[in-house]
Amino acid sequence: MSTAVIVFPASNCDRDAAVALEKVTGKPPRMVWHKDTSIPDDVRFVVVPGGFSYGDYLRSGAIAANSPVIRDLKDKSEAGLPVLGICNGFQILTEAGMLPGALMRNANQKFVCRISRLRLANAKTRFTSQYDAKHEIDVPVAHHDGNYFADDETLRRIEGGGQVVFRYSENPNGSRNDIAGIVNASGNVLGMMPHPERAVDTVHGGTDGITLFKSIVGSL
């Protein structure tokens, strides 16, 4: 099965995402440059990785959201292609209008980098189905602009629709409703600030993240 990772100037988690995907699929993913105009048609799952695309100039993810490949990604996601945006990838997906809300500066105005305990708010998505009955996982966070914000009406809609997938057990950034990750209304696009690709090997301190990749790949 073919997967892909989109690479932007100053992406720094693209190789981590590639390692996670190869662990699960047994095949290296395609590394798609942001100036490419399309994602190969045989690709069945795409990761938009973390990092500091364009140095977070203007707003985190704002310039990357206008890259040529994102236009094609948006079209393909609307046709059902599964997409995972991690950290800066989450920021890019919100800036591109593929997910609701926005990621703002952390409430304490400081960069946060540590293991964060997450609660599974929805264990029935394509991205979480293999977590079984486990309701808490430990996944690293590393961000300065991870404060998830949405207006009250949007919050009511995503909460009522089961679109909140992960919540922080101890909120590190001020996100509304402790939100750490959400899916779109169709359930095929997930954005999350924590880094599951950094929790796929015991050498790195834990493997709670690998189940997310197994879940989505298994659903295909």
Please tell me the predicted confidence (pLDDT) of residue 205: 85
At 38, which amino acid appears? S
The phi, psi pair for 179, rounded to 5°, reads -70, 125
Q: Is 87 among the catalytic positions?
A: yes
Q: Which two tokens stand for residue 42?
A: 């045989």
Q: Could you tell me the pLDDT band of residue 54, with boundaries at 50, 70 and 90?
A: confident
First to last CA, the chain: 9
Residue 211: Cβ within 10 Å count: 22
Query: Tens of pLDDT along 43-53?
Result: 999 999 999 98
- Catalytic option among 34, 95, 143, 197: 197
Average pLDDT over residues 21-31: 97
Lowest-confidence segment of 69-83, 126-140, 170-184 by average pLDDT: 126-140
* Range 2-219: architecture per CATH: 3-Layer(aba) Sandwich (3.40)
- Catalytic option among 87, 159, 170, 204: 87
What share of the chain in percent tops pLDDT 90?
Answer: 91
Is residue 192 predicted with pLDDT exceeding 90?
Answer: yes
Round the CA-based radius of gyration of the chain to a whole number and report it: 16
The better pLDDT of the pair 61, 161 is held by 161
Q: Could you tell me the pLDDT band of residue 210, with boundaries at 50, 70 and 90?
A: very high
Name the residue among 204, 156, 151, 143 with its Cα closest to residue 16: 204
- Catalytic option among 13, 34, 143, 195: 195
Q: Is 34 among the catalytic positions?
A: no
Is residue 135 predicted with pLDDT exceeding 90?
Answer: no
Q: Could you tell me the pLDDT band of residue 169, with boundaries at 50, 70 and 90?
A: very high
Is the backbone of residue 122 left (phi > 0), alpha (psi -120 to 50) or beta?
beta
The residue behind tokens 């994602």 is 39
Name the residue among 122, 91, 117 with its Cα closest to residue 106: 91
Residue 203: Cβ within 10 Å count: 7
Query: Tens of pLDDT along 113-124?
Result: 999 999 999 999
Q: Is 197 among the catalytic positions?
A: yes
pTM of the model: 0.95
Please tell me the predicted confidence (pLDDT) of residue 97: 97
DSSP-assigned letter for residue 139: E
The domain segmentation of the chain, as residue ranges, is: 2-219
